[in-house]
């Protein structure tokens, strides 16, 4: 489609057609945003005078998923994970906030125990980054350390788990600990929990622990804090309340007398005698 033929009417028609096909508003918005950026680039390169869809309205999106995993539920979930490589994968995801594919791609060459970081070389953004090694997984990484090219997450047959294989194994683990026949303290609440949701769980915990949006974005591999602020801006009300409560203000004892203001000095007007 020629650039010149893309206008507001074309975008409106695209939105209607995609909605009729059952595509979610969020997916449609991402596509429209991409086209808008392309047209902005065309304007910068003098191929267009203005962006005809600069003011196009995005479709209303459903609230973002808010997966929850309390500490007791985390233990239940980990205990339900089998085989062992899945259990370790889940622990690493909860401790680092990495994407599943990033952890599956790790080799021991990427485990820098001296600096205490995992080096993520295959990031979604294309840039590498360092992710702090949480103390809860440090000893496991040290104990399992193999050759530089050996995978960190490996199956008994020596092969890496695939992304789809990890997702299927995780869903089976969730099913094992959401069975209604289990005692309440042996279940997790969210039956639709997905392995990628563990990244969200990490993010909420990191913000609640005191990391700034900028710091969390650095760990997660985001280029800026836009997504963090938009998606997680309201997930730490208790921490905000606690911080506001810690602000120091002057204490005034109850019933203290009101300070009296000094009386203004009496002004004596000057009189001049004229001749």
Q: Does residue 85 sit in the same domain as residue 145?
A: yes
Q: State residue 250's pLDDT score.
A: 74
Core vs surface per residue 48-70: b (16+ CB within 10 A) or e? beebbbeebeeeeeeeeeebebe
* Structure-token pair, residue 135: 């103390």
Q: State residue 237's pLDDT score.
A: 66
Q: State residue 222's pLDDT score.
A: 87
Q: Does residue 81 sit in the same domain as residue 42?
A: no
C-alpha 113/C-alpha 273 separation (Å) is 94
pTM for this one?
0.70
C-alpha 67/C-alpha 162 separation (Å) is 23
Q: Give pLDDT < 50 ranges for the chain.
A: none
Q: State residue 270's pLDDT score.
A: 67
Q: Does residue 121 sit in the same domain as residue 176?
A: yes
The CATH number covering residue 175 comes to: 1.10.443.10
Percent of the chain topping pLDDT 70: 89
* Structure-token pair, residue 197: 């949701």
Q: Does residue 46 sit in the same domain as residue 159?
A: no
Q: Does residue 187 sit in the same domain as residue 228?
A: yes
Query: Does the residue 92 lie in any domain?
Result: yes
Query: Does the residue 46 lie in any domain?
Result: yes
Q: Does residue 222 sit in the same domain as residue 128?
A: yes
Query: Does the residue 31 lie in any domain?
Result: yes
Question: What DSSP designation does 51 have?
Answer: -
Distances (CA, A) of 77 to 10, 28, 170, 188: 47, 34, 9, 7
Query: Does the residue 243 lie in any domain?
Result: no
Q: Does residue 172 sit in the same domain as residue 214?
A: yes
Query: Does the residue 163 lie in any domain?
Result: yes
C-alpha 187/C-alpha 174 separation (Å) is 9
Point out the domain boundary residue: 62, 85, 100: 62
Query: Does the residue 14 lie in any domain?
Result: yes
pLDDT tens readout for residues 170-196 = 999 999 999 888 888 888 988 899 999
Q: State residue 159's pLDDT score.
A: 93
Sequence-distant (≥ 6) Cβ neighbours of residue 88 within 8 angstroms: 137, 140, 153
Q: Does residue 56 sit in the same domain as residue 77?
A: no
Query: Does the residue 167 lie in any domain?
Result: yes
Q: Does residue 53 sit in the same domain as residue 165?
A: no
Q: State residue 5's pLDDT score.
A: 81
Q: Does residue 138 sit in the same domain as residue 9?
A: no
Q: Does residue 35 sit in the same domain as residue 132?
A: no
Sequence-distant (≥ 6) Cβ neighbours of residue 146 within 8 angstroms: 108
Q: Does residue 88 sit in the same domain as residue 192?
A: yes
Query: Does the residue 166 lie in any domain?
Result: yes
Residue numbers of the domain that contains 40? 1-62
Are the beta carbons of 161 and 65 closer than 8 angstroms?
no
Number of domains in the chain: 2
């Amino acid at each position: 489609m020629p650039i010149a033929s893309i206008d507001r009417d074309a975008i409106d028609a695209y939105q209607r057609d995609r909605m009729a096909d059952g595509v979610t508003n969020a997916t449609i918005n991402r596509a429209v945003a991409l086209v808008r950026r392309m047209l902005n680039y065309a304007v910068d390169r003098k191929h267009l005078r203005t962006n005809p869809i600069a003011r196009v309205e995005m479709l209303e999106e459903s609230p973002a998923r808010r997966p929850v995993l309390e500490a007791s539920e985390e233990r239940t979930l980990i205990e339900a994970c089998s085989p062992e490589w899945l259990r370790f994968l889940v622990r690493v995801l909860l401790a680092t906030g990495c994407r599943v594919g990033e952890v599956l791609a790790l080799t021991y060459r990427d485990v820098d125990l001296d600096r205490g970081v995992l080096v993520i070389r295959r990031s979604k953004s294309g840039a590498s980054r360092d992710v702090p090694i949480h103390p809860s997984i440090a000893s496991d990484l040290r104990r399992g350390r193999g050759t530089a090219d050996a995978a960190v997450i490996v199956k008994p047959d020596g092969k890496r788990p695939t992304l789809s294989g990890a997702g299927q194994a995780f869903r089976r683990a969730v099913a094992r600990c959401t069975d209604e026949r289990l005692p309440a303290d042996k279940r997790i609440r969210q039956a639709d929990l997905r392995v990628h949701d563990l990244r969200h769980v990490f993010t909420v915990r990191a913000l609640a622990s005191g990391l700034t949006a900028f710091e969390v974005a650095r760990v997660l591999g985001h280029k800026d804090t836009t997504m963090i602020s938009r998606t997680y801006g309201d997930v730490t009300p208790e921490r905000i309340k606690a911080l506001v409560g810690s602000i120091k203000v002057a204490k005034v004892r109850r019933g203290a007398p009101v300070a009296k203001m000094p009386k203004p000095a009496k002004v004596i007007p000057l009189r001049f005698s004229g001749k």
